Amino acid sequence: MPPSGLATVDSRVLPAFLLCSTLLVIKMYVVAVITGQVRLRKKAFANPEDALRHGGIQFCRSDPDVERCLRAHRNDMETIYPFLFLGLVYCFLGPAPAAAWAHFLLFLLGRLLHTVAYLGQLRAPVRSVAYTVAQLPCASMALQILWEAAHHL
C-alpha cells in the first residue's frame, strides 16, 4: 500500500474509476426516470396525491412493471454503492493501470447488461450471469483491500 495519500494514485487509475462510477450513477438516474415513465404509462402511483392528480385514488396501486423497475434499482443500490467504496479504496492500493481498468470495465459492462436484462426481461440466466460478472471484480477488490489492510495492522 502506498505510504501517503492522493498524490500516490496512478494518474490513469483514478480517472478510470471516476469515469466508470459516474457513468453507473447516471445509469441509476436513468432507471429512476424510466420508473417514473412506467408509473405514468401504467397509471400506478406510489402516493395518493400523485394518483389524485392523474385520474383518481384508485391509481394509487402497485404494478408488475413498476415493481420490476424498483427491483432493478434496488439491485443497483445493493451492488453499485459497495463498488463506489471498494473501487475508490482499491485505487489507493497502487494497482497496475491495466488491471484497474479491467476491474472497472468488467463491473461497468456487467451492470449495464444487468439493467438491460432486468428491464428488457431477457431470458434467464442472462441477468444472473451479468450480476456474477460484475461481482467478480468487486470480490477481487475486496480481497485485495483486506490483504493489504491485514499486512498494515
Ligand X SMILES: N[C@@H](CCC(=O)N[C@@H](CS)C(=O)NCC(=O)O)C(=O)O
Q: Which residues sit at the interface with ligand X, rule CB under 6 A?
A: 71, 75, 78, 127-128, 131
Which residues, 6 or more positions from 3, have their beta carbon under 8 angstroms from its beta carbon? none
Closest CB 119 distance from ligand X, rounded Å:
12
Closer CB to ligand X, 44 or 72, in the complex: 72
Residues 29, 105: Cα–Cα separation, whole Å: 19
Residue 79 neighbours by CB distance under 10 Å: 18
Residue 45 neighbours by CB distance under 10 Å: 22
Closest CB 102 distance from ligand X, rounded Å:
22
Partners of 45 in the β-ladder: 60
Closer CB to ligand X, 75 or 140, in the complex: 75
Closer CB to ligand X, 21 or 135, in the complex: 135
Closest CB 114 distance from ligand X, rounded Å:
6
